[in-house]
Amino acid sequence: MPTVTIQTLTNIDDIRGSSFSIPRAWAQFLPAAVDLHVTSLKPGHTRGNHYHKTRKEVIIVVHADGWALSWDNGRTSRVQHRDFVGRGAVMLTVEPGAAHAVVNSGRMDLYTIGLTDGLHDPEDTVRVEITAGDQGSKIKNQEK
């Protein structure tokens, strides 16, 4: 059964700002990262609402305010939801077939870094509504 795991990252910040080390577990989950993407997400918007047929994904969410994650463990499982508050960073590992969506419920932009074990392929991404997305995210996802 496909899964999504969530790991809160430790902030070793100083007067310059935040610094998050990514645990080596990502490399065990995704030993051959092939694709990398960096995104910003404005308040009130959603990214995701999809799953990948074959690609594994590691997503690092760097946030300075509230956000929410919705995910499932395959099409026959129930959708789960978790809210996050404040500043920090979270690492998600997402197996093929697990739908996922990130919603910026805060007042500041948040950022994601995504690594996958295969090149971007629109045929590998299947759109599913697991959380109420905004119109902007629907338009963007349909273009990809």
Q: Give me the domain span that covers residue 50.
A: 4-131
Rounded CA separation 144/141 (Å) = 5
- What does pLDDT average to over the chain? 89
When pLDDT is averaged across residues 107-136 and rounded to a whole number, the result is 87
Q: Is residue 35 part of a domain?
A: yes
pLDDT at residue 49, as a whole number: 95
Rounded CA separation 142/28 (Å) = 32
Rounded CA separation 29/129 (Å) = 26
pLDDT at residue 18, as a whole number: 86
Q: For residue 132, name the pLDDT band (cuts at 50, 70, 90).
A: low
Task: State the DSSP H helix or E strand holding residue 28, giving kind and residue range, or none if neither.
Answer: helix 25-29
Does residue 140 register a pLDDT over 90? Answer: no
Q: For residue 144, name the pLDDT band (cuts at 50, 70, 90).
A: very low
Q: Is residue 105 part of a domain?
A: yes
Q: Is residue 8 part of a domain?
A: yes
pLDDT in tens, 29-74: 999 999 999 999 999 999 999 999 999 999 999 999 999 999 999 9
Burial code (b: 16+ CB inside 10 Å, e: under 16) for 51-74 equals bbeebbbbbbbbbebbbbbbbbbe
Q: Is the pTM higher than 0.95?
A: no
Q: Is residue 137 part of a domain?
A: no
Q: What is the CATH number for 52?
A: 2.60.120.10
When pLDDT is averaged across residues 112-126 and rounded to a whole number, the result is 94
Q: Is residue 143 part of a domain?
A: no
Q: Is residue 40 part of a domain?
A: yes
pLDDT at residue 21, as a whole number: 85
Domain total in the chain: 1
Q: Is residue 139 part of a domain?
A: no
Q: Is residue 60 part of a domain?
A: yes
Rounded CA separation 109/115 (Å) = 20
Cβ atoms 88, 63 nearer than 8 A? yes
